[in-house]
Amino acid sequence: MTGRAWAAAAAALVLVAALAWLALGPGRFQQGPVLTIHLRCAPAAEGSLTVWITPAAGAAVRELRSDVRAACAAGQLQLQHFQDDADLHARLVRSAGDASDLLARNGSDIQRDRQGYFTVLRINASPPYLANDRV
């Protein structure tokens, strides 16, 4: 095959890929819906926070761990690939060793807008240490 033939074949391949991308829509190549967890934290909040998504369909569980102070400084956490039938579980383990668990249900605690899904968690320095909150 000559140089021109290779160039023509490469150009045809690029054209087919571009047409496939346009036909399927650019949204199909994105990572999927994002769940944004907004955090409202007491100044003395500390410990570690673990959040995980549990889809009803039994798909793989996705988990994210973070230091509470770092997460509170950022103001939010984000989990990719959230699904319509999924719920969010959260566990706060304080330095004293005690743990607080929380379940945020899709449709009540977890809402949807144009940017994706969102929920609000409050992290307190006194009981209840971890709670669902509203916008």
| Per-residue pLDDT tens digits of the chain, which is 135 residues long | 676 766 665 555 544 454 454 444 444 444 578 999 999 999 999 999 999 998 877 766 789 999 999 999 999 999 988 888 899 999 999 998 999 999 999 989 999 998 899 999 999 999 999 999 987
* Partners of 90 in the β-ladder: 51, 102
Strand partners, 40: 122
pLDDT at site 8: 60
CA distance 111 to 131: 16
Q: Provide the pLDDT for residue 83.
A: 84
Element (H, E) at 34: none
Quick one: pLDDT at residue 38?
A: 97
Q: Which residues pair with 16 in a beta bridge?
A: none
Q: Where would I find the beta strands (DSSP E) of the chain? A: 35-41, 48-55, 62-67, 76-79, 86-93, 99-104, 111-113, 116-123, 130-133
pLDDT of residue 24: 47
Q: How many CB atoms lie within 10 A of CB 82?
A: 22
Q: Do 36 and 117 touch, CB atoms closer than 8 A?
A: yes
Provide the whole-model pTM. 0.74
d(Cα 20, Cα 4) in Å, to the nearest integer? 24
pLDDT at 3: 66
**Residue 25, φ and ψ in degrees, nearest 5:** 95, 140
